[in-house]
Structure 1
Amino acid sequence: MGPIVTIDGPAGAGKSTLARRLAQQFGWRYIDSGAMYRAVALYAAQKGIPWTDEAALTCLCRQLSFAFSWHDGQLVIQVNGCDVSQAIRSQVAGEGASRIATLPRVRAVLVERQRDLGRAGGLVMDGRDIGTVVFPDADIKFYLDASPEARGRRRWLELQQRGEAVSLEEVIGAIRHRDHEDRTRRASPLRVPEEAYYIDTTNLSIDEVFALMVDKVKFFGVSFRSPDPAGERDAQKRPHAR
């Protein structure tokens, strides 16, 4: 049974990208909690359920099963046996996720699903309340942050690569709006977990942040075979960002 590693932070901070890399590096499972909210939003839209109908959405959540697996190095997300890996990455699914994430009963059902998925340990899970609510006693906790402008540009580039026509200003505006909703909602507001390792990624590359995270994991006694011993030694010399 391996450790439970949590990665929290606002939208666009790099949580999913780094969680995937960390899980693959150490041979752990990866659970994308945000994908679960996106999937609920997607299925609700398909069934004509308003994102404000808490009772109907809670019922829908109980009807959905989630599975996460790797295929050719890519994360495959299945809901009720159907691959939704690409469908849930749309801007619409993201907007729906931010709406339903404010509903306490929906969160309660999904938190239990997340705990069930993680009980065996040996996993990395990212989200906005993983280290504070889902696994408050996790072995290793990270909190990734960055300026709204930096996060907005990252998300905008992702959308551009998928062919979605949206302006940078719109994406930054959506990021700021999501930040406000996440930090002020009554149910599980976004905050830095106790004993979390805080990293501001605004001016750091993905590789630099990953090196810092690997350092922290290794500090807890977890080992792996590095494909680049020299690179590993360099990473060990990097100062931790608090």
Structure 2
Amino acid sequence: MIIAIDGPSGAGKSTISKMLADSLSMHCLDTGAMYRAVAYLRLHGDIPEHDEKSLVQLVRKTELNFHHTTSGTQIFWDGIDVTVELRAPIISQEASRISAWSAIRKVLVELQRKICGSGDFVVEGRDIGSVVFPHTAYKFYLDANVQIRASRRQQQLKEQGIIKDVKTIVAEIKKRDFHDSTRKDSPLTKAAGAILIDSTSLTKAEVVQKMIIEIEKIKEKLGKKGKTN
């Protein structure tokens, strides 16, 4: 079974995906972390800013491993755990930029499909239901008011020791939304058949519960099979 969760930055996809996976005893794959890992490679691998070809070559020859645990996805670059470093603002900005590169997306989509071929996964990102796993019956689009999303991001940054005002974060999120939704390759969009869940006024537990209820409804429609290819 593949459960796809798409949505914009700050909607709570990572946290919700982990909670949902735990509730259903499934694995969780944070595809955003994969793009941040590639951004890390670009910034630390002496790759010129617009050299897509060299970056793809580096990704293919680098030992980039993703360990999936109940607490989330750990990223290892040549055996070194870089999970914490990937949350730095500069990495997120670079990830947003290179995520528009078709060759990079192709490499990572291949890897995402390979990883998820080994079991049941909750997969979160921006093109999971529309591009990576378009045939899964379990699709969600998680969204929230931009002010709420900015407040959540501000709290995340605060926990990392980074202080930034909400107004600045709102501007950054709007810029990211525009970039993600207007890129030519796999833009952020609500996939056909995806269930929209607005988390603005919901707790994390309430969002997960709503998803579980919808998943059970889908299973009932599909019959005892409980999944689709």
Q: Which of 45, 48, 55 is matched with 2:46 structurally?
A: 48
Flag the 1:82–1:125 CA change in 2: closer, same or farther, 3 A. Answer: same
From 77, 93, 96, the counterpart of 1:95: 93
- What is the CA-CA distance between 1:206 and the residue it aligns to? 1.2
- Give me the whole-angstrom Cα distance separating, in 1, the residues matched to 2:48 and 2:161: 27
Change (3 A) 1:68 1:120: same
Q: Choose the corresponding residue for 1:150, options 148, 151, 156.
A: 148
1:28 corresponding residue in structure 2: 26
Is the 2:154–2:166 contact (alpha carbons within 8 Å) kept by the matching residues of 1? yes
Alpha-carbon distance between aligned partners in 2 of 1:114 and 1:143, rounded to the nearest angstrom: 19
Matched, 1:192 2:184: no
- Asked whether the equivalents of residues 18 and 72 of structure 2 are also in contact (C-alpha less than 8 Å), the reply is no
| Number of residue-to-residue matches in the alignment | 219
Give deviations 1:28-72, integer Å, cap 9, x for gaps. 11111000100111121112224432112221221243322226x
How many angstroms does 1:134 deviate by?
Answer: 0.5
Tell me the SS of whatever aligns to 1:192: coil
SS in 2 for 1:182: helix
Give the residue type in structure 2 aligned to 1:70: T
Task: Tell me which residue corresponds to 2:129.
Answer: 131
1:137 and 1:16 map into 2 onto residues whose CA distance is 22
Quote the Cα distance in structure 2 between the aligned partners of 1:51 and 1:7.
Answer: 30
Which residue pairs with 1:239 in the alignment?
none
CA distance in 1 between counterparts of 2:126 and 2:66 reads: 20
Deviation string, structure 1 residues 51-98 (Cα, Å, up to 9, x no partner): 432112221221243322226x45433333321221111111100100
How high is the TM-score relative to the length of structure 1? 0.85
Aligned match of 1:218: 216
Counterpart amino acid of 2:181? R
After superposition, residues 165-180 of structure 1 pair within 5 angstroms as 165-180=163-178
Write the distance in 1 (CA, Å) between the matches of 2:138 and 2:131: 14
SS at match of 1:55: helix
TM normalised by structure 2 equals 0.90
Contact 1:54 1:106 in 2 (8 A): yes
My pick for the range that moved more, 74-83 or 123-132, is 74-83
> 1 CA distance for matches of 2:48 and 2:203?
39
* 1:111 partnered with 2:109: yes
Q: 1:48 to 1:165 in 2, by over 3 A?
A: farther
> Which residues of 2 match residues 49-68 of structure 1 at below 5 A?
49-64=47-62, 65-68=64-67
Q: Show the 5 A alignment for 1:67-82.
A: 67-70=66-69, 73=71, 75-82=73-80
Matches within 5 A, 1:3-42: 3-42=1-40
Tell me, yes or no, if the aligned pair for 2:30 and 2:72 is still in contact at 8 Å. Answer: no
Note the C-alpha offset of 1:219: 2.4
Q: Give the secondary structure class of the aligned counterpart of 1:66.
A: strand
